[in-house]
Amino acid sequence: MTADAEPGAATAETYTASVVGGTGFTGGELLRLLAGHPGFEVVQATSRSADNMTVGRSHPNLRGLDLRFSDPDDLESVDVLFAATPHGVSMGRIDEFFEAADTVVDLSADFRLPEADAYDEWYDGHESPEYLERAEYALPELNRENLRGADLIAGGGCNATATILGLKPLVDAGALGPEAGEVVVDVKVGSSEGGAGGGAASSHPERSGVVRPYAPTGHRHEAEIEAYLGLSVSFTVHAVDMVRGASATCHVFPDEPVSKGDLWGAYRDAYADEPFMRIVSGGGGVYRYPEPKSVAGTNHGEVGFELDPGNRRVVVFSAIDNMTKGSAGQAVHAANVALGLPETAGLEFDGLHPVGAP
């Protein structure tokens, strides 16, 4: 079975999988997706804090899953190991992970930048820089061909993912490049981005009702955007009163004038054949532009745009669920591509409407 198989087609093979760091929000999302995936059998989920406790105790939506957490030092042999651990853990355990699995999918920042120098600049260095060249960025819309057969997959950051999906069609069409005008990106994100241990700033009383700048400048996801799109962007992130979601508004000033037709052509060329991408740009109804609420719980991404000819500006909108398309769903999608499974396997959920705050 190849990655070009019909969406939803039965898989020809089942792979065993483990989730390291299974009690966090992303670990729970991975377990949810993998439990419903026809090509994976989850045989282990690890947690130091919840060792021998049921998965349903941490993730009540998974109470029907007959699985208990085990000690992360006792890794079982599996085909694919998904690591949903904090930054810095996987780079220190990567040899151990490969002793336990043929394929490693890491959802942290540990392998998502291609150069060790970038980790010196944006993080605190890297313990295993020899693996960086081996790692493949997990976003299939950007890196599909290189993901086929990859054995080390590095999940993208959710804010970077939303931004890259919005801007990539303009880069592909030649409307944006290193010599283009300034690109200003403003991202709004939900509280789940802070993880299960997000601290006081993510608690409900402190988060409720806010639009809080928490990374006005120097956000680490800028490094991914520059590495994979070749663009330097002015990037700001706000924490807002929602649980799931990332919404990017990008202000683009191309060197050459573009028309509305040029924009539609660029976005259709980029995403017409992508199973999880939707173009939502100023149509009728209430949801006229991309919104996190429309994609909550799904692996879909929405992109849209408006032209401001008087200011020679293009405003690009993109929205994803940070937990799914921005993390666990992207990881499963990438694993599907790497293993030759149908790309949409385990990711067919289209969301709900109406629904409350995502």
Residue stretches of the annotated binding site for NADP(+) = 23-26, 322
Which amino acid belongs to residue 303?
V
Q: What is the DSSP string of 191-245?
A: GGGG-TT--GGGSHHHHTT-EEEEESS--THHHHHHHHH----EEEEEEES-SS-
CA distance 328 to 303: 20
CA distance 163 to 334: 18
CA distance 241 to 143: 32
Nearest CA to 37 out of 297, 249, 348, 274 is that of 348
Residue 351 phi, psi dihedral angles, 5° rounding: 90, -175
Q: What number of other Cβ atoms are within 10 A of residue 25's Cβ?
A: 24
Nearest CA to 83 out of 60, 57, 101 is that of 101
Which amino acid belongs to residue 257?
P
- Give the sheet arrangement for strand 40-46, strand by strand: 69-70, 40-46, 15-20, 78-83, 101-106, 152-154, 136-137
Residue 250 known to be catalytic? no
CA atoms within 13 A on the CB side of 197: 7
CA atoms within 13 A on the CB side of 324: 27
Catalytic-role residue among 5, 83, 158, 334: 158
Residue 52 phi, psi dihedral angles, 5° rounding: 75, 5
Q: What number of other Cβ atoms are within 10 A of residue 122's Cβ?
A: 16
Which stretches of the chain are DSSP H helices? 25-35, 55-58, 89-100, 116-122, 140-147, 158-172, 204-207, 221-229, 260-271, 292-295, 329-339
- Binding residues, as ranges, are 23-26, 322
**Catalytic site positions:** 158
